[in-house]
Amino acid sequence: MRKIIHIDADSFYASVEMRDDPSLRDKPIAVGGHSDRRGVIATSNYAARKFGVRSAMSSARALQLCPQLTIVKPRFEIYREVSKQFHAIFHDYTDIIEPLSLDEAFLDVSECTRYDGSATLIANEIRQRIREDLQVTASAGVAPNKFLAKVASDWNKPDGTFTIAPEQIAEFVKQLPVSRIMGVGKVTGRRLQKLGVITCGDLQTIPVPTLAKHFGKYGPRLAELAYGHDERSVKTSRQRKSISVEHTYPEDISNEADIVAAVADLLEELARRFSKIENEYQPTKRYVKVKFDTFTQTTQEEIISGDLSHWQSLPDYQRLIRSAWQREQKPVRLLGAGLRLQPGQNYSDQQYELFDD
């Protein structure tokens, strides 16, 4: 029986900003881009969330909901440094760590002997050290598997621990809303609701063949999670599948020539980012993304033929962008360019730290 802890910092970026500038502590704040430049909210503190301010919301909309909101420009170098400090604390308890983002990770503490192996007490000590050493707070979920540990970490937020013991799983999942299941978003949630499914207990009554019929390969996985079953191990390495860059423009780009010309800057940034991992991965496909002023978006990709080192062909990316834009031929608010990847000859199972970007 595994002992898994999921650590999730509380409004991480915003917490770091409040730590470094105490004048922000009693104010609703958010970290994100400028509202007059189509900025997007990366995160908000709990005071701002009371007004409905959420991550991925436009900064303009956030200010409508909370006119007194203070929007702080992100400082990713600082966040990465704090993330390193998180990571150092985790390693005092286990080396089996799976980072999910700068402020979130799974820890397998099955072999940790501290507190006679009590994962709950280990989680509490980790949280206490984060609070005292880094002056930010984190929440923890403790369970026998990754699915339930992640669910549990959100149960007593902020600054709390929640444990789901093995003997509690059956009763706990019966009342658990299916919206808590990984991969169940709004669309899947509506489809489940049409089947009469609101909770995992409801989901347990649906035959697996029926779930497979409606949800394909994800159907059997839903059936497993409905009972709280999750056999995935905590992985200490992470393999990239793609790398990309995107640019949201202050004003819509309406002219096809300007859209095509904008690809050069994207490609330059993509090449810079890929240079950091080119010894571990090789590109297999190039792709582009176009988001129109109507917020609809489209992507297009192609296999890279010939010498893979020539992936950064500007004419090829411009051709893809032109083809994607011509599907709707509307003003554009965002353009993106990327690569699909596979491990290269020099790729090895190495641990990627929480501050990997």
Structure tokens at 203: 């989901």
Shared-domain flag, residues 249 and 202? no
- Summarised one tens digit per residue, pLDDT across range 283-295 is 999 999 999 988 8
Average pLDDT value for residue range 196-221: 94
Domain-embedded: residue 351? no
| Assessment of whether the complete model's pTM goes beyond 0.85 | no
What is the sign, positive or negative, of the torsion defined by CA atoms of 102, 103, 105, 109? positive
For the residues of 115-150, what is the DSSP string, one character each? GGG-HHHHHHHHHHHHHHHHS--EEEEEESSHHHHH
Q: What percent of the chain has pLDDT over 90?
A: 73
Q: Is 252 annotated as a binding residue?
A: no
Are the CB atoms for 352 and 99 separated by under 8 Å? yes
- Same domain, residue pair 13 and 105: yes
Mean pLDDT of the chain: 90
In-domain check, residue 145 = yes
Do 28 and 160 reside in the same domain of the chain?
A: yes
Predicted confidence (pLDDT) at residue 6 exceeds the cutoff of 70: yes
pLDDT > 50? residue 100: yes
Same domain for 130 and 198, yes or no, is no
Specify the CATH number for the domain of residue 198.
1.10.150.20
User: Do 35 and 131 share a domain, yes or no?
Assistant: yes
CATH of the domain at 306: 3.30.1490.100
Asked if residue 296 belongs to a domain, the reply is yes
Answer whether residue 177 shows pLDDT above 70: yes
Q: Is 8 annotated as a binding residue?
A: yes
Which residues are annotated as catalytic? 104
- Please determine, for residue 34, whether its predicted confidence score (pLDDT) is greater than 50: yes
pLDDT score at 185: 84
Residue 232 belongs to some domain of the structure: no
Assess if residue 235 is contained within a domain.
Answer: no
Instruction: State how many domains the chain has.
Output: 3
Burial class (CB in 10 A: 0-12, 13-18, 19+), 222: buried
Q: Based on the fold, state whether residues 61 and 192 are members of the same structural domain.
A: no
Mean pLDDT of 49-71: 93
Is there a single domain that holds both residue 46 and residue 135? yes
Q: Which of 101-105, 121-125, 148-152, 316-320 has the lowest mean pLDDT?
A: 101-105
46 pLDDT band, cuts 50/70/90, is very high
Kindly state whether residue 353 falls inside one of the protein's structural domains. no
Measure the CA–CA gap between 128 and 64, rounded to whole angstroms. Answer: 37
pLDDT(101) > 70: yes
Specify the higher pLDDT residue, 344 or 338. 338
Provide the CB-side half-sphere exposure for 294 (13 A, CA): 7
The pLDDT confidence band at residue 352, using thresholds 50, 70 and 90, is very low
pLDDT value at residue 97 = 94
Q: What is the reported pLDDT for 37?
A: 67
Q: What is the pLDDT of residue 155?
A: 95
**Residue 300 lies inside a defined structural domain of this protein:** yes
CA–CA gap between residue 230 and residue 200 (Å, rounded): 14
My answer on whether 103 and 5 are in the same domain is yes
Which of 226, 253, 274 marks a domain boundary? 226
The number of C-alpha atoms within 13 Å of 70 and in the hemisphere containing its C-beta is: 15
For residue 349, pLDDT over 80 is answered with: no
- DSSP-derived pairing of the beta strands 104-108 and 161-163: unpaired
Range of 214's domain?
A: 170-226
184/159 same-domain check:
no
Does 133 reside within a domain? Answer: yes
Q: Which residues pair with 72 in a beta bridge?
A: 31
My answer on whether 53 and 191 are in the same domain is no
Q: Are residues 211 and 75 in the same domain?
A: no
Q: Do 110 and 146 sit in the same domain of this protein?
A: yes
Q: What band does 1 get if pLDDT is binned at 50, 70 and 90?
A: confident
